[in-house]
Homo-oligomer: A and B are copies of this chain.
Amino acid sequence: MAKQNTVFKDAYNRCLKVLAETSSLPSEPELGQVLGVSRTTVRAILGRFEEEKLITWDKRKKIVLRQPQPDDYFPTEETDSLAEIIERSFMRRILAGGAEPGMQINELELAREIGTGTTSVREFLIRFSRFGLIEKRPNSHWILKGFTREFALELTEVREMFELRSAASFVALPDNHSAWQELSRIEAVHHEILADIDNRYTEFSELDERFHLLVHKSSSNRFIVDFYDIISIVFHYHYQWNKTNARQRNARALEEHLAYIEALRSHDPKRAEEACRRHLRSARETLLQSIP
């Protein structure tokens, strides 16, 4: 098969939710806008809706006939793009399985294991290589450099440089900058989670990313912002992997974030730097502790 129609299936599912809220659907371009897909895909969705007797469709008239049922949705496994599937497989393999540094990675074998063509695996590896965990030997295999202590130290060294720089930019943002509002929203979520920490501590991971990305973005430097992808993926999988003391660790990090946010809001570079350093130090410790 040439191309999976995951875009169609995912948009179809999301469109079902739009449909559930209304009695007639908007125009094709508008739907395309809402779903983030082209009109071609929108029309394919509408066509299928008609077949499934979910709507009647005559030019501009798209009248809802019935509410969508659970089995109108495509199963979620079918809506993930191939790239996501490959990423997950690969990360599981290298984080969970015996992932000794120096191990060879073989495109063909990976492709067979995941059940895809080699091209997609290859493109994934090329994209992934910028994270510094693998390296290519031209005309030959890839080498796994491993999620080692050195890796973590090198990563955090750069992270600290970038985040300190970004925090310094942040305090200098004008008061009417939208980042301050987003900061307040993020702060509010911190309080919410802390208030019910025993049940909601797992929400920290996502919030952490949202907060630090906001800080990094204030650097207005694409290299700094892009670098956050690396931190993000490492921490994302790291959180999935290492769950010891998660509740306690997250509670502590939330408190540190609040102090950090407070310091940013003070507009005082010194205070911000100090709060930033304190938090980054403990984040580094946490990361290092999880590495053998």
Contact = CB atoms under 8 A, between A and B. Distances in A.
Interface of A: 7, 119, 122-123, 126-127, 130, 132, 139, 145, 151, 154-155, 157-158, 161, 165, 220-224, 226-227, 230
Contact of A7 (B139, B158, B165): B139
Nearest to A159: B223
A161 B155 contact: no
8 contacts: A122-B123, A123-B123, A126-B126, A126-B127, A145-B222, A151-B222, A155-B223, A161-B161
Given A123-B126, A127-B126, A161-B161, A223 B139 contact: no
A139 B10 CA distance: 14
Nearest to A41: B139
A157 B221 contact: yes
Q: How many copies does the complex hold?
A: 2
Contacts of A127: 126
Nearest to A127: B126
Given A123-B123, A127-B126, A154 B221 contact: yes
A226 B154 CA distance: 12
Contacts of A154: 220-224
Given A158-B221, A165-B161, A226 B132 contact: yes
Nearest to A153: B221
